[in-house]
Amino acid sequence: MIELGPRHFFKLEGQNSAGLFEGLDHVWDALDMIGSFLKGILSSNVAEIRRQGDMTTRPWALWNGQAWADDLTITYGDATKGKLDVWRKGQRLEGAAVVSAGVFLMDDAIEIGPGALVEPGALIKGPALIGPCTEVRQGAYLRGNCLTGRGAVVGHVTEMKNTVMLDGAKAGHFAYLGDSLLGREVNLGAGTKLANLKILPGPIRIRVGEEIVAVDRRKFGAILGDDCQTGCNSVTSPGTLMGPRCLVAPNLTVPGGYHPPRTVLRGK
156 is catalytic: no
From the candidates 8, 156, 173, 259, which is the catalytic residue?
173
By the 8 A CB rule, do 154 and 171 touch? Answer: yes
Of 58, 62, 258, 35, nearest to 147 by C-alpha is 35
Alpha-carbon 233 to chain mean position:
19
Query: What is the set of active-site residues?
Result: 173
